[in-house]
A and B are shown apart, each in its own frame.
Chain A
């Protein structure tokens, strides 16, 4: 037991783990050229093991593409560092004033590691485009999708029944929540090209109902993209059952949006609109965009400021408020952060990034601890050094 404890608490292990972190971060930066930030983050920092491959399109790529370097992923290294740190504090450290700096730095570090883990697991990012003069009460993910059945029979509100697209595995039967319906995914494409069948192309489509049949839409699968400025066109063939009776197979896709006529599923007494769309997050409040400004430096195209004047109307009217969202000044509201991310439509539409990150305060706390610790630690060293010099 003791040698094991010694191993886990040793400074050597710290140095080794830190060196591996250095390597991991370096390759995790390089691979962003290929996979984009978001996917690389999953591969490298939210994983236990990762293998780096020499990119094919880099200089000398054809010759060196066989090179592969395995390395521990972020979760493994973070976890090990945490254990190492805790073990070291239990075994080696005697609490004393001389050590308080190190102790503070390390507790800050532990907090930072935990907060990063929390962010990975709990944080949700989405976008909310709002037109000038318009309102919105939901935001949209830009990577995750959902399959929805919308019941529009109620005069005042729609009921939306959703299944996350990540559950759409071919062959699997899933009940649609709160409806008599269930579905079976026939085919699922993470990215595809969707177009109309022309006389030349093989009109291969397994859909038996809906727009795909009416308009002769066909699907050509293609590899998923990780680029920051492209989206994946997700497409799925879904068989819908009412009880045990198959109603047919529909083609759904996140590009078949409001511009397409709705595809309806009828189970005799109720009809549902079926669609695949970017995951939506609904809020108990509405954001109205009063004015969007895009200012440039005189005589240039360099942006000087983007700002959105908004009005928030909450179901609980005591929470209503007005706000100006601009660069470096997001709106924090109901546990969400709205910041000015982009714009479209000749400066008539403002796009907000909406972030829900329950752990957002932790880094601040850890910063405080580490800052204090550093000052104490290096301050003591420095004064000791000064004392020596004087003698």
Chain B
């Protein structure tokens, strides 16, 4: 029996792993993996096209795949290549996510039960949408959900259009199939065109047809230079670190200034033609050439870009998220049957999930060249990681599955939060100047965030204590004592880290702003966590609160930490407001309400506690009151 239990748990875990690995493979005659790795400069960083494809899809669809009307599933890069090279096909893919299409008031758009719409479906309403967009509140943070939806669709359409124009000018099939010829005839027109232009300006006789052709090119590329979204053309080597790359339109325009046309431009044109004609051999040759040119120009960047593409495909956080669910379920079942075996299996799966989580964290650090926490998204990933680490330590000591269950719960929740934070686009963005200090990011920020992990884990353990104590008849004194010890230990940890982190933050502030403390919202939030910890510890040491009260305090820690983490960012003030967000209010309020209900549950009189532990306390209390009554009588 024992072996079968292990076998079942581990094979489910293996299935999750394999599922994650398999979904990253793309089957095609075209070498799409090499294409996905072509470089582009976005947000001050060189990254693979794959990242752009994924982020764009995330923003438009809220997910990293496209499901066509025929039921085919496309990977982000497959979608991206169609978008740029076969726009007529891409326009039919349903990728614009509209949560409430009926609310838009666009007659004929909404289809029953459909949340994703294609460009072609939206096209008839573009005028109407633009008109609605002009009417909504110009300040994004003041928009209603309806207005937000209008804004999202409009911005989405704009982004779609601009990304489409990233690799070459876009037009009908006859243009896309002859891009190389177009560039050649453009290059051939420049010289004589300039001569005719000068003649015209000097008032001399000129060749009107030739000039017109030249000006048509120039106009078109000028427009392209403002539309094309991606900077895919690196400057000729040697390239300096802070040099701007150009978009396709700008590069084509600059040829008029006697710059040679970058080979990247022509390569993308040939790639497009090869892809359109279905010539995989030609396509793969071109991609290889492009890639080799990039390697030669940027020998220091290729391995990182390659790694980023691989990392994107693996989606380690997604895998560990699924494993956390598995662990939680396994432990819950273990409290009913096979406690030893399931708890043990859960522990080892937890270790595995933790290693995968760690791998993701380290990968991001390598790609970004930064300590793990640089923005709100990465803080969420790190909070989960820290909680799981602490959970493993607890499990090592107590071996009863409780640590594993709560750690996996916190891990799962924070990764879900991270997943939603990622919807806004690139999560590996550059650091604003004032934050540009690896030393402080590695110390202050990491330690503070680890403090969040600890307080959340302690809060989760306290919630478990309350729920089991009130509802489960099997919850006894020993379990209560060990849970209580866990909460205490973790809060000690959390207070220590929060205090040290807060103080380090003060030192950083003194170093960069000349003041140790400025009562800025984020600083105050951190201080509140420290004080919360101090309250818990003093209440415990002084015997002011007993089990129930201490658990209520630990649950309050959740509220304070959530406020410090997210609430302070919602306030429109402060030097720290780098992770600003306009939604998520409702979530925060909901979370706080749930915690308040749980606090109230914790404070229920003992007679409502169904557990063995609660009943024992109830009897004790009764006895005490009887003795007190007798004493009074005597």
Residues of A within 8 A of B (CB): 10-12, 14-15, 18-19, 21-22, 25-26, 28-30, 32-33, 36-37, 40-41, 44-45, 115-116, 119, 123, 125, 228, 295-300, 302-306, 327-330, 337-339, 353, 355, 357, 360, 363-364, 367, 370-371, 374, 378, 381-382, 385, 389
Interchain CB contact (< 8 A) of B43 among A297, A305, A329, A378 = A297
In the complex, B496 has a CB within 8 A of chain A: yes
B183 contacts chain A at the CB level, 8 A cutoff: no
Further pairs besides A15-B535, A302-B432, A303-B432: 18, Cβ < 8 Å: A15-B539, A19-B535, A26-B563, A30-B571, A33-B572, A37-B519, A45-B519, A119-B515, A298-B241, A298-B245, A299-B41, A299-B244, A299-B245, A328-B437, A363-B506, A364-B507, A378-B493, A389-B397
Contacts of B503 in A (CB 8 A): 363, 367, 370-371
Are A374 and B500 in contact (CB-based, < 8 A)?
yes
Contacts of B573 in A (CB 8 A): 32-33, 36-37, 228
Interface size class of B (residues with CB under 8 A): 35 or more
Asked if residues A328 and B574 are in contact (CB atoms below 8 Å), the reply is: no
A337 lies within 8 A of B514 (CB): yes
List the A side residues contacting B243 at CB < 8 Å: 298
Kindly list chain B residues whose C-beta atoms are within 8 Å of the C-beta of A228.
573
Q: List 20 A-B contacts (CB under 8 A).
A: A12-B544, A15-B542, A22-B560, A25-B528, A26-B524, A37-B519, A37-B574, A41-B518, A119-B515, A125-B514, A298-B243, A300-B43, A300-B44, A327-B433, A328-B436, A328-B512, A363-B510, A371-B500, A374-B500, A378-B492
Which chain B positions have C-beta within 8 A of A381? Answer: 492
Q: How far is the CA of A299 from the CA of B560 in the complex (A)?
A: 39
How many angstroms from the CA of A371 to the CA of B499 in the assembled complex? 9
> Which of B43, B519, B531 gathers most chain A CB within 10 Å?
B519
Interface centre among B507, B516, B521, B542 (most CB of A within 10 A): B516
Which A residues touch B467, using CB under 8 A? none
**CB-based contact B538/A11 at 8 Å:** yes
Residues from chain A with Cβ under 8 Å of B397 in the complex: 389
Q: How far is the CA of A29 from the CA of B397 in the complex (A)?
A: 40
A26 contact set on B, CB distance < 8 A: 524, 528, 563
Q: In the complex, how many angstroms separate the beta carbon of B233 from the nearest chain A beta carbon?
A: 11
CB nearest neighbor in A for B437: A328
The B231-259 residues at the A interface (CB cut-off 8 A) are 231, 241-245
Residues of A within 8 A of B544 (CB): 11-12, 15
Distance (whole angstroms) from the CB of B234 to the closest CB of chain A: 10
Judged by a CB distance under 8 angstroms, whether B292 is at the interface is: no
State whether the Cβ of B36 lies closer than 8 Å to any Cβ in chain A. Answer: no
Which residues in B have their C-beta under 8 angstroms from that of A329?
511-512
In the complex the two chains form, is A297's CB within 8 Å of B515's CB? no
Closest to B493 in A: A378
Residue B534 lies at the interface, judged by CB distance under 8 Å to chain A: yes
Most A CB within 10 A of own CB, among B397, B493, B528, B560: B528
> In the bound complex, do residue A25 and residue B515 qualify as a contact, i.e. CB atoms below 8 Å apart?
no
Which one of A14, A25, A337, A363 contacts B524 once the chains associate, using CB atoms below 8 Å? A25
Does residue B541 face the partner (Cβ distance < 8 Å to A)? yes
Nearest opposing residue in chain B for A295, CB measure:
B242
Q: Which A residues are CB-close (under 8 A) to B272?
A: none
Is the beta-carbon distance between A304 and B430 smaller than 8 angstroms?
yes
In the complex, what distance in Å separates the CA atom of A374 from the CA atom of B531?
15
| Contact pick for B518, options A25, A37, A297, A339, CB 8 Å | A37
Contact among B45, B512, B517, B541 for A119, CB-based, below 8 A: B517
Closest CB of chain B to A274's CB: distance in Å?
33
Q: How far apart sit A367 and B534, CA to CA, in the bound complex (Å)? A: 16
A300 touches B499 (CB 8 A): no
User: Does the CB pair B531–A18 fall under 8 Å?
Assistant: yes
Q: For residue B511, which residues in chain A have a CB less than 8 angstroms away from its CB?
A: 328-330
Q: A18-B538, A330-B514, A357-B515 are in contact. Are A363 and B433 (CB under 8 A)?
A: no
Q: How far is the CA of A349 from the CA of B305 in the complex (A)?
A: 39
Please tell me if the beta carbons of B433 and A304 are within 8 angstroms of each other in the complex.
Answer: yes
Residues of chain A with a CB closer than 8 A to B436's CB: 304-305, 327-328
Residues on the A chain within 8 Å of B574, using CB = 32, 37
Q: Of residues B44, B489, B512, B573, which shows the largest number of chain A Cβ atoms within 10 Å of its Cβ? A: B573
Across the A-B interface, the 4 shortest Cβ-Cβ residue pairs: A297-B44, A11-B542, A355-B514, A337-B514
Q: How far is the CA of A329 from the CA of B513 in the complex (A)?
A: 9
Q: Which residues does B use to contact A, with CB under 8 Å?
A: 41-45, 231, 241-245, 397, 429-430, 432-434, 436-437, 440, 485, 489, 492-493, 496, 499-500, 503, 506-508, 510-521, 524-525, 527-528, 531-532, 534-535, 538-539, 541-542, 544, 560, 563, 568, 571-574
Expressed in whole angstroms, the minimum distance between the Cβ of A102 and any Cβ of chain B is: 9
Q: Residue B44 contacts which of A21, A45, A119, A298 (CB distance < 8 angstroms)? A: A298
Q: Are A357 and B514 in contact (CB under 8 A)?
A: yes
Do A32 and B433 contact each other (CB < 8 Å), given the known contacts A25-B531, A353-B513, A370-B499?
A: no
- Flag if A363 contacts B507 (CB, 8 Å): yes
Contacts A29-B571, A123-B515, A302-B432: A367 and B507 contacting too (C-beta < 8 A)? yes
Nearest B residue (CB) for A306: B433
> With a CB–CB cut-off of 8 A, which chain A residues contact B571?
29-30, 32-33
**Closest Cβ of chain A: how far from B49's Cβ, in Å?**
15
Whether A328 and B542, one on each chain, are in contact in the complex, defined by CB atoms closer than 8 angstroms, is: no
Contact across chains for B516 and A353 when beta carbons are under 8 A apart = no
Which residues from A are CB-within-8-Å of B429?
A: 302
**Cβ–Cβ contact B244 & A374, under 8 A:** no
Which B residue's beta carbon lies closest to that of A338? B514
> What separation, in Å, do the CA atoms of A103 and B48 have in the docked complex?
55
A374 near B430: Cβ-Cβ < 8 Å:
no
Q: Which residues of B contact A360 (CB under 8 A)?
A: 510, 514, 516
In Å, the complex CA distance between A246 and B528 comes to 57
Q: How far is the CB of A376 from chain B (nearest CB, A)?
A: 11
List the A side residues contacting B496 at CB < 8 Å.
374, 378
| Chain A residue nearest to B436 in the complex (CB) | A327
The answer for the CA separation of A302 and B524 in the assembled complex, in Å, is 27
Chain A's closest residue to B535 (CB) is A18
The smallest C-beta distance from B99 to any residue of chain A, in angstroms, reads: 23
The answer on a CB contact under 8 Å between A328 and B516 is: no
Are B242's CB and A298's CB within 8 A?
Answer: yes
- How many whole Å from B563's CB to the nearest CB in chain A? 8
Which of A11, A357, A382 has a CB less than 8 Å from the CB of B541?
Answer: A11
User: In whole angstroms, what is the CA distance A115 to B506 when docked?
Assistant: 13
Measured CB to CB, the nearest residue on chain A to B570 is: A33
Chain A nearest CB, measured from B612 CB (Å): 24
Query: Given contacts A22-B560, A228-B573, A298-B44, is CB(A41)–CB(B519) below 8 Å?
Result: yes
- Which chain B residues border A382 with CB–CB below 8 Å? 489
Q: B243 — nearest CB in chain A belongs to which residue? A: A298
Chain A residue with minimal CB distance to B573? A32
Are B506 and A28 in contact (CB-based, < 8 A)? no
Chain A residues whose C-beta falls within 8 Å of the C-beta of B516 in the assembled complex: 115, 119, 360, 363
Bound form: Cα–Cα A119–B440 in Å: 23
Residues of B within 8 A of A125 (CB): 514-515
| A25 CA / B485 CA spacing, docked (Å) | 29
Residue of B nearest to A294 (CB): B433
Are B538 and A14 in touch, CB under 8 angstroms?
yes
B433 touching A303 by the CB < 8 A rule? yes
With a cutoff of 8 Å between Cβ atoms, the chain A residues found around residue B434 in the complex are: 327-328
Known contacts A33-B572, A298-B44, A299-B44; decide if A339 and B514 are in contact (CB<8 Å): yes
Instruction: Give the CA-CA distance A337 to B514 in the complex, in Å.
Output: 6
Q: Assess whether B525 is in contact with A339, with CB atoms less than 8 Å apart.
A: no
Complex partner residue of A40 from B433, B492, B512, B519, CB under 8 angstroms: B519
Bound form: Cα–Cα A37–B576 in Å: 12
A residues near B500, Cβ cutoff 8 Å: 371, 374
For B515, list chain A residues within 8 Å (CB).
119, 123, 125, 355, 357
Q: Which residues of the other chain, B, contact A28 by a CB distance below 8 angstroms?
A: 519, 524
A40 to B518, CA, bound (A): 11
B43 touches A302 (CB 8 A): yes
Closest-CB distance, B531 to chain A (whole angstroms): 5
Q: Is the CB of B489 within 8 A of A385?
A: yes
CA separation between A295 and B241, bound complex, in Å?
12
> In the assembled complex, how far is the CB of residue A342 from the closest CB belonging to chain B, in whole angstroms?
11
